[in-house]
Amino acid sequence: MKRSWNLLVIAWLIAVVATASALFIGEVMGMAPCVLCWYQRIFMFPLAIVLGIACYSDDRRGAIYGLPLALGGAMVAGYHTLLIAGFVSKAWIPCGTGVSCTEQKLEILNGLQIPWLSLAAFFAISLSLILYLRKSPKSIHKK
């Protein structure tokens, strides 16, 4: 039981680090996010809260609620990654005026771009939640 709880904590910690990083990049470094980055934030920020509550209360339902958020965020981050890599036509860019979704100016660790890190975070959270849900016992409702 303790091992499965560790998976939930790992998913929560990844969500907290990703949320704090996004806030640091936007608020401290002053880099405005593009439209796709905003969508990824919409999926990531609630994960930090939902999974934190799930860890505190050791409640399996938090993982059930968090998994669709993590998978949705992974889909947006995957699309953004394909867009930056040039595998998606630039005609399908949802960005209008403002910051471009294809021209990322911030690279970390010699070439890792923010959408790639976002995709890795969503993937790791999704994997942790899936493993947690497989290992944690389903609650039995008493009548």
pTM of the model: 0.85
Summarize pLDDT for 55-83 with one digit per residue, the tens.
998 888 999 999 999 999 999 999 988 88
CB atoms within 10 A of CB 138: 7
pLDDT value at position 123? Answer: 97
> In the chain, which residues have pLDDT < 50?
140-143
- pLDDT number for residue 142: 40
In contact, 50 and 65? CB cutoff 8 Å: yes
Direct distance between the N- and C-terminal alpha carbons of the chain, in angstroms, rounded to an integer: 25
Task: Tell me what pLDDT residue 37 has.
Answer: 86
Q: Largest Cα–Cα distance of the chain, in whole Å?
A: 58
SS3 49: helix
